[in-house]
Amino acid sequence: MTEFTPWLSLSGGLLIGLSAVLLMALHGRIAGMTAILAGVIPPFPSDWAWRAAFLAGAIVAPLAWLAAGNEIAFAVPLSTPTLVIGGLIVGIGVTYGSGCTSGHGVCGMARLSRRSIVATLVFMAFSIATVYVMRHVVGA
């Protein structure tokens, strides 16, 4: 079980949205983690610097939040091999699918992009089906 956290989750969602709007207003970019991350994996595009800065900020902020005395729940209920397999599959999928939850699910859906709406419905459906099979069919 994990605790139902509507207010904290809503607050987090509002911050994610604020970040997406600011990145568009100032940099003219979609706040999609797949594309931003791809920009710091060789071969580097010419505009890798803002992507690296965005990633650094995204890592440092939770660290600072913890250092300020706050707590953030975290648990990985998986074996290491399962985590590695999951990572490989996610990396392959987001590269072929041109985006993930942030790029398609938030920014693309907010623009009413047909591609992003389809992508989001497909990955959500497959995630729910995968968890159903792993927890209730295989019974892992």
Partner 1 sequence: MKKVLSAFLIGGIFGLGIAISGMANPAKVLNFFDVAGTWDPSLLFVMGGALLVTAIGYRIVFGARRQPVFESQYALPGTTGIDAQLVGGSAIFGIGWGISGFCPGGAIPALGLGHPETPIFIASMIVGIMIARALKARAARPAAA
Which of positions 109-128 make contact with partner 1 (CB under 8 A)?
A: 109-111, 113-115, 118-120, 122-128
- The 70-89 contact track toward partner 1, x by CB under 8 A, reads --xxxxxxx-x-xxxxxxxx
Binding to partner 1 by residue 9, rule CB under 8 A?
yes
Residue 44 or 83: which CB sits closer to partner 1?
83
Supply the minimum distance, in Å, between the C-beta of residue 69 and partner 1: 14
Please name the amino acid found at residue 114: R
Alpha-carbon torsion (109, 115, 121, 125), positive or negative: negative
The C-alpha atoms of residue 18 and residue 12 are separated, in whole angstroms, by: 10
Q: Which of 29, 44, 46, 138 binds partner 1 (CB under 8 A)?
A: 29
Length of the chain: 140
Q: How far is the C-alpha of 140 from the C-alpha of 136, rounded, in Å?
A: 8
